Amino acid sequence: MDQQVEKMQLRQNYRNFWHSDLMSTIYADTPYCCFALLCGPCVSYLLRKRALYNDMSRYTCCAGYMPCSGRCGESHCPEVCLCTEVFCCFGNSVASTRFLLQDEFNIQTTQCDNCIIGFMFCLQQLACICSIVACIVGSDEIQELSQMLNCLADLTYCTVCACMQTQHKIEMDKRDGKFGPQPMMAVPPVQQMSRIDQPTPPPVGYPSQPAYGQQPYGYPPPPHAQGYPPTGYPPPAYPPAPAYPHNYPK
C-alpha cells in the first residue's frame, strides 16, 4: 500500500496532459463513447490489450496496482483472467488501464477531471448512505430518495467510465500515430571546430621576427650578405655525427 500511495503522489508531478479531457471526449469521438457506454466490459478488454501492445504475456491482473496482482495465474491464461477482471471488477479494470497509461506517458490528471471523478465517488457514497438509512428507518420517502440517488449514481458512473475509456482510446490513437506524426525536437547541428574557409585572425602581440638572411625593410644589408662565412672568420667546425650500429634486434 505504501508503494501505491507513493505512485499516486508521483503522478501529481507529471507534466504531460491527456490529448482530450473528460468533458471533450464525447465531442472528440462520439461513436466510440456510445460504444463504451453500451458495452463497457468489452471496451475495457480491448483497451487493456491495446495498452499492452497486444502482448498478453505482459498482462497482470489490474495492471499490478492491486494486492491480488500476479497471484491469479495470469501467466497460464491471461485472456481468461482479463475477461474475469473486466466483468467482475469493471471499475478497477478502467482505473488500472488509466494508471498504466499515466505511468507510461507521464500524464497528469487535470483539476476538471479530478472534480468529475470525485463527484462520481461522492454521489455513490451518498446513495449508499441513504440506502442504509432507509433500511434502518423504514421510511418510504427516504427509500424513494435512496433509489433516485442510486439511479443517478449509476448513470453518472457509467457516463464517466465511458468518457474515461474514450479518453484512453484517444491517447493510444495519439501514441500509434493516427493523428499524424507528432512534432519532435530537432537535432542540433554538429559544431564545427575549425574550417578552412575561415579568415586567418590578425596577429596579436609582438611582430614576427625576420628569418635568418633577411633584413627588415629600411636597414642596410649586413657586411657579409654577399657570402658566407664572413671574411676573416674561419669556417665553423661541426663534430661528426655518431655512427649507429647496424646490429638491430631481431
Residue 166: φ, ψ to 5° = -65, -35
Indicate if the pLDDT at residue 15 is higher than 80.
yes
Confirm whether 121 is domain-assigned. Answer: yes
State the Cα angle at 147 between 154 and 135, rounded to 5°: 125
Mean pLDDT of 41-60: 93
Indicate if the pLDDT at residue 63 is higher than 80.
yes
Contacts of 25 (CB under 8 A, 6+ apart): 33, 163, 166, 167, 170
Provide the residue range defining the domain that includes 49: 2-175
Rounded-to-5 percentages of helix, strand, coil across the chain: 55, 0, 45
pTM, rounded to two decimals: 0.66
Confirm whether 212 is domain-assigned. Answer: no
The pLDDT of residue 180 is 64
pLDDT confidence tier of residue 147, bands split at 50, 70 and 90: confident
Confirm whether 198 is domain-assigned. Answer: no
What is the number of structural domains in the chain? 1
Helices 40-51, 90-105: inter-axial angle, 10-degree rounding: 30
Confirm whether 199 is domain-assigned. Answer: no
Confirm whether 18 is domain-assigned. Answer: yes
Q: Over the stretch 190-249, which tens digit does the pLDDT of each residue have?
A: 433 333 344 444 444 445 555 555 555 555 555 554 454 555 555 555 555 555 555 545
